[in-house]
Chains A and B, each alone.
Chain A
């Protein structure tokens, strides 16, 4: 039974990683094919560095991911605090239903409805170009906030409400009480929300695709590359993305492990 379960886990991991390994292998291909290997080369990687469209898209992706995750972490944390102090059950329910909409809806529907909104308002304002950086940013904030709210609310539930009361009784202003008494106990939730928002934003293709106009993020560039004939440059780019994600996750895991160890020491 033990051996069987290990074999099964191994097979699933093989299934998950076989295409990734194939992709990394062919990113070093000297030839133009993605299935005939003509020898080792770094040409496709070198080509990426000098591809200004790609670098521009990378910059755009990082700016959108950083801005949208910071803004949605602030808005989402505030929202979580507010919503969890709603006293009427019905208004709490309503707020959570609205929060669930972007998470439950198909990305294509979210993307299209936002695009229609932007085009509609663009027409009203008489803009020649209604889609671009701002609309992508708004779209990303919109789909990120629910993830922040849903990772902060459980932490708020675990927090002792008396803590804030005590801080207030001891003479803290409500704002100071919030930062001194509430934030430390929900900080892991805020951090998880931020990381999720950041990675979701980095990764998003469908919603960006409908709201970007001529503004390009990395997934959009990848999409346009895969529309043409298949060459290993997409694989080289993907390998870089894969390795970055891998390092990011390891870092995140170490940070989390570290904080857990510190907590268990106390």
Chain B
């Protein structure tokens, strides 16, 4: 018995070695860079210098929270309504929701420029109606719209996949016991769909808080997000690697903290619903 499982355990060795070299070691190197200066001497000045980027962190967190909340508000009813239609139609709509997800987010973000630009589709439409044009591109609203648009499938899918597994007899039982629509939603569907909501929130929040493309294209570089700052510093040259690493380290810790808090709300074993 022992011998047999020893063989199976051994086949995971190549992966574990791989993960050690390309997952663990890179993070160790990043921490090393974050805690040293140009000459390789230990310093905390990178970490303490992060105050300069306080605004970028703050903006990133606020933008990410707002877009996660909007995404949740839009996606939750979508997922719920999807479970109410015919199975064959559900499959079709699932596919339709997934297609944009498998398209590059650069492209998806970029296509909004045509719609939102000062001479874009919305404004030329307003002009034709004789209405005053509105300034949409390069505003915080445009950045949040871009985040919501890019990441909404990641909210719809996990919520839908949890909701579609809710046992119908539970709902029937609730009706039999006198629940109306609203109390059924509150006391059966909502608690049972919570794991999907939690993984949806993390799947939207993490890319939103760390993005560096959406804000540049739709926000016009007016508000520097933390992802933009990191990208900018890494492109500025090796002498900025230390500061950039410390920003990445703080971003990583921030995300891990958020994930830990989110995990408290769900009692699954850390499985991700994709």
Contacts and interface: CB of A to CB of B under 8 A. Distances in A.
A12 to B, nearest CB: 5
A230 B112 CA distance: 12
Interface of A: 2, 5-6, 8-9, 12-13, 15-20, 22-23, 26, 34-36, 75-76, 78-83, 85-87, 95-96, 98-110, 112-117, 119-120, 138-139, 141-142, 145, 147, 149-151, 168, 174, 196, 199, 203, 205-206, 210, 218-219, 222-223, 226, 230, 234-235, 238, 241-242, 245-246, 248-250, 253
B31 to A, nearest CB: 9
Interface residues on B, range: 35 or more
B22 A112 contact: no
B210 A245 contact: no
B252 A249 contact: no
B114 A35 contact: yes
B114 A205 contact: no
B111 A79 contact: no
Contacts of B124: 35
Interface in B10-59: 10-16, 18-20, 22-27, 29-30, 33
B98 interface: yes
B168 interface: no
Q: Main secondary structure on chain A at its contact with chain B?
A: helix
A142 B111 contact: no
B144 interface: no
Interface in B257-274: 259, 270-272, 274
B111 A19 contact: yes
A106 B14 contact: no
B117 A35 contact: yes
A9 B230 CA distance: 38
B19 A98 contact: yes
B97 interface: yes
A106 B206 contact: yes
Nearest to A222: B106
B207 A13 contact: no
A104 B255 contact: yes
A34 B102 contact: no
B114 A12 contact: no
A152 to B, nearest CB: 12
A108 B234 CA distance: 11
B27 A113 contact: yes
